């Protein structure tokens, strides 16, 4: 029977899974997916190959789990209850800032590298899995934005165009501004101000 490394079985499984992902990420970043073996990951964690197999039968599974976790953490932030309780314009500005701060962070740079590694080196099934997860994540983000915009539309703050359309346009604006912030051509606050300025202009035009 495998040694229980933490206080109970459930905690042991959850934290061992975390330890595996944490140990594998530097290896994937340094060597790529193809050049990293499960034996290397097992040694880095300090567990046997058989134990590792019980958690992740394939190394692609580790990378998929990492990306799923990243999506989950971001979704928790961007669906924060505070965004539903404040003025829609304040909520929208805060959501834009949160998104841009995340995109400009070292964690996002790491995630982006690993995402590219998976798409370039993993098999078709793994690629389909992570692309589906990305689609679900983006649908969640658009849904949060649409909810804020719907509240703003009802309050007469934004124009009358359907919120789904506005949300899609706003996502594109945020992505363009995030690329500028990532390249350090503008600060996060400058990028957020630009997005809000452009969006307010669009909303005002659509309100006429």
Residues 95 and 196 in one domain: yes
Mean residue pLDDT across the chain: 86
Whether the predicted pLDDT of 153 surpasses 50: yes
| 203 vs 59 pLDDT, higher one | 59
Residues 42 and 79 in one domain: no
Looking at residue 208, what is its pLDDT?
A: 47
Number of domains into which the chain is organized? 2
Enter the tokens of residue 85.
Answer: 């309780």
Residues 91 and 193 in one domain: yes
Containing structural domain, residue 108: 64-207
pLDDT, tens digit (0-9, with 9 covering 90-100), for 9-36 = 888 888 999 999 999 999 999 999 999 9
Residues 85 and 164 in one domain: yes
Residues 49 and 99 in one domain: no
Residues 30 and 83 in one domain: no
Q: How many residues are given for the chain?
A: 208
The CA distance from 74 to 18, in Å, is 17
pTM higher than the cut 0.85: no
Whether the predicted pLDDT of 158 surpasses 90: no
């Amino acid at each position: 029977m495998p040694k229980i490394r933490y206080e109970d079985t459930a905690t042991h499984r959850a934290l061992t899974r975390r330890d595996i992902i944490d140990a594998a990420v530097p290896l994937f970043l340094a060597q790529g997916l193809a050049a990293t073996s499960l034996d290397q990951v097992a040694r880095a964690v300090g567990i046997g190959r058989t134990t590792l197999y019980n958690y992740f039968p394939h190394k692609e599974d580790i990378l998929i789990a990492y990306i799923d976790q990243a999506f989950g953490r971001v979704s928790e932030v961007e669906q924060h209850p505070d965004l539903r309780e404040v003025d829609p314009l304040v909520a929208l500005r805060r959501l834009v800032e949160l998104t841009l701060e995340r995109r400009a962070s070292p964690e996002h740079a790491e995630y982006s590298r690993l995402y590219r590694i998976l798409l370039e080196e993993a098999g078709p099934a793994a690629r389909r899995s992570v692309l589906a997860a990305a689609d679900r994540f983006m649908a969640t983000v658009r849904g949060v934005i649409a909810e804020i915009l719907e509240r703003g539309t009802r309050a007469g703050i934004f124009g009358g165009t359907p919120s789904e359309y506005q949300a899609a346009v706003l996502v594109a604006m945020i992505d363009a501004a995030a690329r500028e912030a990532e390249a350090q051509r503008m600060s996060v606050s400058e990028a957020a101000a630009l997005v809000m300025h452009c969006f307010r202009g669009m909303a005002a035009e659509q309100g006429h």
